[in-house]
Chain A
């Protein structure tokens, strides 16, 4: 007679092996991880941006009362520096990637560019990972880099005179 099983060990991949460790996986897993990271990053920036701009809005109320918009000009000169512009560059890159990858996801999730059903034969390669959405993913990464270079130019060369 078999022995009754005492305690089974939970073996969920968890946060590290499931979400964070994406580098040994397929390309779409990289895009999934980057989509999550960029989404959370831009989301946090959005909340901070609304709060920061609302503080500076005091300048408009001052101007209506005949005062100088000191709050605004002070804030802008405080924020015009290499550190903050590096952060803005990351936000810009993240926003661009997240939007473009979002378009790719909407298309894939509605059945476009995921290949078509086949009669499986050896070596059983999946059609969804070989369809147009993977090539679109590569294009999106390249486009994000190009727009990141444009953002770098604007933030560092134009604004800071690098």
Chain B
């Protein structure tokens, strides 16, 4: 539960930055997502995205696990949910990492 708190706090900060960068730049949301604007993601920015992805992958999938386990109980079911959620989280994390690496020009 402590991890859920800590990842939540991290997501709050990074999520607020993500929203701010999309809306508080000149031109607002309308010009935030043009190709030239999103190109050339430098290392620190990329690492922040990676951190955001990590925290979100844990927080979101652990949240899903809590809701699913409260819906139904049983040893087999709970183990299946835990594995499913872990695999979903890992897959999302890996797929997102690939995207970030491409954005940073480190993936060919």
- Footprint of B on A, CB under 8 Å? 15, 36, 39-40, 42-43, 46-47, 50-51, 53-54, 57, 59-61, 63-64, 69, 72-73, 76, 92, 95, 99, 102-103, 106, 150-151, 154-155, 158-160
A-B contact count (CB 8 A): 81
- A99 in contact with B15 (CB, 8 Å): yes
Contacting residues, chain B, for A59 (C-beta < 8 A): 35
A39-B63, A50-B99, A73-B35 known; 10 new pairs, CB 8 Å cut-off, are A47-B92, A51-B95, A60-B39, A63-B39, A69-B35, A99-B11, A154-B29, A158-B28, A158-B29, A159-B29
Contact with A along B23-64 (1 / 0, CB 8 A): 100011110011100110000000000000100100011011
Q: Knowing A50-B92, A54-B95, A64-B108 touch, does A76 contact B12 (C-beta < 8 A)?
A: no
- B99 in contact with A57 (CB, 8 Å): yes
10 shortest A-B CB distances, which residue pairs?
A: A158-B28, A159-B30, A43-B60, A154-B29, A54-B99, A57-B102, A50-B96, A159-B29, A69-B35, A57-B99
Complex alpha-carbon distance, A59 and B42, angstroms: 17
B30, B33, B71: which contacts A158 (Cβ < 8 A)? B30
Interface residues of B, dominant DSSP: helix
Q: Knowing A57-B99, A61-B102, A159-B30 touch, does A95 contact B92 (C-beta < 8 A)?
A: no
Complex alpha-carbon distance, A76 and B56, angstroms: 24
Residue among A60, A61, A92, A155 facing the most chain B CB atoms (10 A cut-off): A60
Q: Knowing A53-B99, A92-B19 touch, does A99 contact B8 (C-beta < 8 A)?
A: yes
